[in-house]
Every structure is written in C-alpha cells, then in structure tokens.
C-alpha cells in the first residue's frame, strides 16, 4: 500500500515515518482492497500540550475513510486515528457483505 505522509510547516524524522508506515501496514491485514493512504501531520497553534494533529485518509473502493485525532504527540495521535480507521474498516466490510 502506498502511504503518503505530509507534514505541514515541519520535516518529519525517519523514526516517525517508519512508525506511521508500520501502523498503516497493519490496516492491510483487515482489508486487502486498500489502494492507498494519505497522512497529514500538523501542529495546532494553541497553548494546550495536546496540539499535535494527525489526519488519515484511507482510499478503499467505494468510499474513502477519514480520521482526525489530536494528542500530545504525533505517535499517539496516529495511533488513535488508526484505531478509529480500524473500526470504520470493520463497518465498511460488514456493509459490503450485506449488499
């Protein structure tokens, strides 16, 4: 699966890129028709410590799935966004079976 990582106004390090790619690859185990994904990382301009945002768009035939999570670190935000996508993929699979 192609994973495109966009970071807004900063450069990600190799460790963060690998972490994100690893998490995204685990989603392939749930659904084999994933054609690609786009991960956008940005820092919210607030005084709160939880100002890291991860937005993930997952391309699957039919609909694209999307999750946006905010947390103290990009790893934590990515982790919770992937978990939300995992639930969405399960629902998407159920709908496909039901049709």
Domain edges within the chain: 2-98
The beta-strand segments (E) located in the chain are 2-7, 36-43, 52-59, 64-71
pTM, rounded to two decimals? 0.90
pLDDT band at 94 (very low <50, low <70, confident <90, very high): confident
* 29-88 pLDDT tens trace: 877 788 899 999 999 888 888 999 999 999 988 889 999 999 999 999 999 999 999 999
- Which of 3.40.50.620, 3.40.50.360, 3.30.1050.10, 3.30.160.100 would CATH assign to domain 2-98? 3.30.160.100
Q: Say yes or no to pLDDT of 28 above 70.
A: yes
Residue 63 Ramachandran class (φ > 0 left, ψ -120 to 50 alpha, else beta): beta
| Strand bridging mode 52-59 / 64-71 | antiparallel
């Amino acid at each position: 699966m192609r994973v495109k990582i966009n970071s807004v106004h900063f450069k990600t390090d190799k460790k963060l890129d690998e972490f994100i790619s690893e998490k995204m690859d685990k989603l392939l185990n749930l659904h084999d028709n994933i054609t690609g994904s786009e991960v956008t990382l940005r820092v919210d301009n607030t005084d709160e410590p939880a100002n890291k945002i991860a937005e993930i768009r997952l391309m699957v035939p039919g609909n694209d799935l999307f999750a946006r999570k905010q947390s103290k670190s990009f790893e934590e935000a990515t982790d919770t966004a992937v978990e939300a996508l995992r639930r969405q993929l399960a629902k998407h699979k159920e709908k496909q079976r039901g049709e």
